[in-house]
């Protein structure tokens, strides 16, 4: 029995776990897609993207809890709630303001964790060319 436990622990230890950088790259993609969904008032897509960001943050809390940077991620809760509220209201001006707050908070988190060199901006071009961000007709 102990041999089986030892073998399973060894397998578990060597199982791939995404790093913080992989999660952040995914969040960056969703952040950009969120912007273009909101700008096009595609509220179902915007809702999907904000939930993807939240899911990634939850995964960071689970899989990267040994990283000291993770302690600062809580500062994103209020901006994410604000974006979510704007999406639920289908309110473009509120979405734009909330998205700007989210982007600023991402940068403040980066600064607080000695990653201020990683500056996030409001996107100027869609992140992918094979997705239509307009509302489907």
Query: Residues 80-114: pLDDT tens digits?
Result: 999 999 999 999 999 999 999 999 999 999 999 99
State pLDDT tens for residues 26-48. Answer: 999 999 999 999 999 999 999 99
Check if the beta carbon of residue 34 is closer than 8 Å to that of residue 50: yes
Residue among 65, 39, 35, 34 nearest 50 (CA): 34
pTM of the model: 0.90
Q: 87 burial class (0-12, 13-18, 19+ CB within 10 angstroms)?
A: buried
Domain annotation for the chain: domains and CATH numbers: 19-112 (1.20.120.290)
Residues in contact with 85: Cβ distance below 8 Å, sequence separation at least 6, in sequence order = 94, 98
């Amino acid at each position: 029995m102990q041999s089986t436990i030892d073998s399973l622990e060894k397998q578990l230890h060597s199982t791939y776990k995404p790093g913080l950088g992989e999660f952040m790259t995914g969040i960056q993609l969703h952040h950009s897609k969120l912007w273009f969904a909101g700008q096009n008032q595609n509220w179902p897509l915007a809702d999907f993207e904000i939930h993807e960001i939240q899911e990634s943050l939850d995964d960071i809390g689970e899989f990267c809890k040994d990283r000291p940077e993770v302690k600062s991620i809580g500062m994103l809760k209020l901006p994410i709630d604000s974006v979510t509220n704007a999406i639920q209201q289908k309110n473009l001006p509120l979405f734009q303001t909330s998205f700007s707050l989210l982007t600023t908070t991402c940068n403040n988190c980066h600064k607080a964790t000695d990653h201020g060199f990683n500056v996030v901006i409001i996107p100027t071009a869609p992140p992918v060319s094979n997705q239509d961000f307009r509302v489907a007709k």
